[in-house]
Structure 1
Amino acid sequence: MREIRIAASVIERADGKIALVRKRGTSAFMQPGGKLEPGEAAIDAVVREVKEELGLHLEGPLEPLGRFSATAANEPGSQVFADIFWCRCDEEPVVQAEIEELRWIDPNAPGDLVLAPLTRDHILPALLRRRQG
Structure 2
Amino acid sequence: MPEIHIAAAIIINSEKKMLLVRKKNTQRFMQAGGKIEAGESPLDALLRELNEELQIQPNPTQIHYHGEFHAPAANEPGHTVHAHIYQLTWHNPIHIAAELEEARWEYPSDATQLLLAPLTEHFILPLLI
Shorter-chain TM-score range: over 0.9
Amino acid at match of 2:96: V
Partner residue of 1:112? 113
Secondary structure at the counterpart of residue 87 of structure 1: strand
Query: CA–CA distance in 2 between the matches of 1:66 and 1:38?
Result: 20
Aligned to 2:122: 121
Contact residue 20 and residue 32 of structure 2 kept, 8 A: yes
CA RMSD of aligned residues (A): 1.0
Output one character per residue of 1:23-59: Cα deviation in whole Å (capped at 9) or x when no partner.
Answer: 0000000000000010111111111101100001111
* CA distance in structure 1 between the partners assigned to 2:111 and 2:35 by the alignment: 25
Distance 1:117 1:32 in 2: 14
In the alignment, is residue 54 of structure 1 matched against residue 61 of structure 2?
A: no
Is the CA contact (8 Å cut-off) linking 1:65 and 1:126 kept in structure 2? no
Alignment correspondent of 1:13: 13
- Choose 101-110 or 29-38, whichever is displaced more: 101-110
Q: Please, what TM-score do these two structures have when normalized by structure 1? A: 0.93
Contact between 1:11 and 1:19, CA under 8 Å: does it hold in 2?
Answer: yes
State the TM-score, normalizing by the size of structure 2: 0.95
- Length, aligned pairs only: 128
Corresponding position of 1:39:
39
Give 1:85's aligned residue.
86
Note the residue ranges of structure 1 that are not aligned, 5 or more in a row.
129-133
Alpha-carbon spacing, 1:65–1:17, altered in 2? closer, same or farther (3 Å): same
Write the distance in 2 (CA, Å) between the matches of 1:110 and 1:73: 16
Kindly tell me: are residues 12 and 30 of structure 1, through their superposed partners in 2, closer, same or farther at Cα, counting changes over 3 Å? same
Q: Which residue of 1 aligns with 2:69?
A: 68
**Which aligned segments of 4 or more residues in structure 1 are displaced greater than 6 angstroms?**
none
TM-fit CA distance, 1:77: 0.5
Seq. identity, %: 45
